Amino acid sequence: MASVQSLTASVHQRLANALSAALPEAADADPLLRRSDRADYQANGILALAKKAKANPRELATQVVARIESGDLLADVEVSGPGFLNVTITDKAITENLAARYADPDGRLGVPYAENPGTTVIDYAQPNVAKEMHVGHLRSAVIGDAAVQILEFTGEKVIRRHHIGDWGTQFGMLIQYLVEHPHELDHEGGEVSGEEAMSNLDRLYKASRALFDSDEEFKTRARRRVVDLQAGDPETLAQWQKFVDESKIYFYSVFDKLDMEIRDADVVGESGYNDMLDETCRLLEESGVAVDSEGALCVFFDDIKGPDGNPVPLIVRKSDGGYGYAATDLSAIRDRVFNLKADTLLYVVDARQSLHFRMVFETARRAGWLNDDTKAEQLAFGTVLGKDGKPFKTRAGETVRLVDLLDEAIDRATTVVREKAGKVGLIEDEIVENGRYVGIGAVKYADLSTSAVRDYKFDLDQMVSLNGDTSVYLQYAYARIQSILRKAGTARPAAHPELALAPAERALGLHLDQFGELLLEVAKGPEPHKLAAYLYQLASHLTTFYDQCKVLDDANPQEVVENRLFLVDLTARTLHQGMALLGIRTPERL
Ligand code: ARG
């Protein structure tokens, strides 16, 4: 396992050593090292430390400079302004350090693992049975998948949970209809497609709804069916299972289109906690966390009140004895903490459910299921807006079907890919495949490049644009490097630390150096948008580099060609790895 200390970390260490030599009481102090435009880095920490020690900051800074060990790492350290340090590192150190990362046999590009990995359960990609998936489900899936990849990459043990909506009174009507029309979901002629599965469910939903609204006797039978379902009646469960299975065919087809792996074993829907509900209520009641209020079992909070000023409780069990969303979520917490042994629970769910989670988490804390060592957090996401800035709807005011959006994104992207296909010599199959990767990448990147809590506009024109902060811009950056590597002929990437670097090479190199630390920071949130921003900056540094430094130029000495090939190859690998963590493919030729 070869993790490579970044240049930033090395500079930090030397500065800290010099600082504690100059001022013993600053032994653990942070020199506050930042990347800077003036030099490679600037350290701003001395000012505050000098103030605390009642010393002159410029003098302290000068003493730090005198004590710093430069070695091969530091080219120049100078005092500037009231007591800042400007730090410039050697070209040799940059190239050597990147070369060590390039040579990492683990393929991790030298990125270290987190120091204290734990177990995180991520609750994401949770559509509802017998219903269409919409853009909200897209966000949960895309952000959740990135969170899974990022955390796993840092060494965290991640358990995925798809808390699908597969339980509730609405199934009474559906099941009763199926009991009375038993073969409606049988597939004689083999398997059905996702689209067919959804249209079957939609047809059944409409038919049963119509009957429910027009036929009082059916209504009564449907209500009785809910009781049978909750009591676990085998025939009722068997019909219910058909709805779940049909819905899964549909869900998996959409996740597949999203180029996302969802495993059956990780799908543990609301129904998966049925056996725990009674006990959850008993524990809450016995501990006094929940109390009886007009026949319902409720938890109250001082700071949560409705518009009328009355407290709004979390209802764990309704007065008719039925369990709802809260009872299931509280049981899921017990399962995740005590059976799965998680220390972090992450919920990738719409911000509009924040009040629910606040109440659920607080209840679990009072019950002792969550505490300082075992934490739950909602990774709340904002709303997807249409071009008009309002929540995304069709012209008729209906929710937009996720599949339609994805198909349109793929269509648009395929057009973009096709326009350039001749130049790169892509055959039809490659155009189709790249169209999918570019289209799906565009949708994912647009979502992941804004911070999750913010709303964003779903604008396909912008998403597939070749210029600007889009996935296809990053995908082209990657493909362009691959094209250079192919054209390089016999010249191979190789690091040459003895070479002086051009400014654009240094800038690219120093940005590459930050990948490891950035990933650990991204994983903390997790905050995928910071990774997206890093990758976009990386591609921008690459563009500047191309403008100023030719890679394959007959005028270049062999070592320069090799060193530049090495720099762009490490850039490509970093782009590839970073994009993979966001769930986005990087085609070799585009
Ligand atoms: N199925 C829900 C929905 O579509 C999301 C479930 C979120 N997860 C949870 N543990 N409550 O809104």
Domain boundary residue among 31, 63, 89?
Answer: 89
Ramachandran category for residue 121: left, alpha or beta (phi over 0 → left; psi -120 to 50 → alpha)? beta
For residue 341, being part of any structural domain is answered with no
Domain with 213 in it:
170-260
For residue 251, being part of any structural domain is answered with yes
Domain boundary residue among 200, 225, 260?
Answer: 260
Instruction: Find out whether the beta carbon of 128 lies less than 6 Å from any atom of ligand 1.
Output: yes
Domain boundary residue among 64, 89, 114?
Answer: 89
Instruction: Find out whether the beta carbon of 123 lies less than 6 Å from any atom of ligand 1.
Output: yes
Instruction: Find out whether the beta carbon of 335 lies less than 6 Å from any atom of ligand 1.
Output: no
Instruction: Find out whether the beta carbon of 163 lies less than 6 Å from any atom of ligand 1.
Output: yes
Residue nearest to atom 11 of ligand 1 (CA): 329
Task: Give the ligand 1 atom nearest the CA of 353.
Answer: 12
For residue 370, being part of any structural domain is answered with no
CA of 3 to the centre of ligand 1 (A): 38
How confident is the model over 306-315, as a mean pLDDT?
90
pLDDT in tens, 434-460: 999 999 999 999 999 999 999 999 999
Instruction: Find out whether the beta carbon of 331 lies less than 6 Å from any atom of ligand 1.
Output: no
CA 551 to chain centre: 34
CA of 227 to the centre of ligand 1 (A): 23
For residue 564, being part of any structural domain is answered with no
Which residues does residue 157 pair with via DSSP β-bridges, in sequence order?
119
More confident residue, 507 or 28: 507
Residue 406, H or E segment: helix 402-424
Instruction: Find out whether the beta carbon of 349 lies less than 6 Å from any atom of ligand 1.
Output: yes
How confident is the model over 337-364, as a mean pLDDT?
97
pLDDT at 579 over 80: yes
Distance CA(408)–CA(405), nearest Å, equals: 5
How confident is the model over 166-183, as a mean pLDDT?
93
Residue 3 CB partners (closer than 8 Å, separation 6+):
104, 108, 110, 111, 112, 113, 516
**Confidence class of residue 3 from pLDDT cuts 50, 70 and 90?**
confident
> Model pTM?
0.95
For residue 542, being part of any structural domain is answered with no
Into how many domains does the chain fold?
A: 2
Domain CATH code at residue 42: 3.30.1360.70
Task: Give the ligand 1 atom nearest the CA of 164.
Answer: 1
Task: Of 399, 417, 406, 412, give the one whose Cα is nearest residue 444.
Answer: 406
Q: What pLDDT is recorded for position 2? A: 66
pLDDT at 583 over 60: yes
Instruction: Find out whether the beta carbon of 140 lies less than 6 Å from any atom of ligand 1.
Output: no
For residue 237, being part of any structural domain is answered with yes
CA of 271 to the centre of ligand 1 (A): 13
pLDDT in tens, 134-153: 998 999 999 999 999 999 99
> Is the CB of residue 118 less than 8 Å from the CB of residue 156?
yes
CA of 164 to the centre of ligand 1 (A): 6
> Is the CB of residue 502 less than 8 Å from the CB of residue 95?
no
For residue 241, being part of any structural domain is answered with yes
For residue 372, being part of any structural domain is answered with no
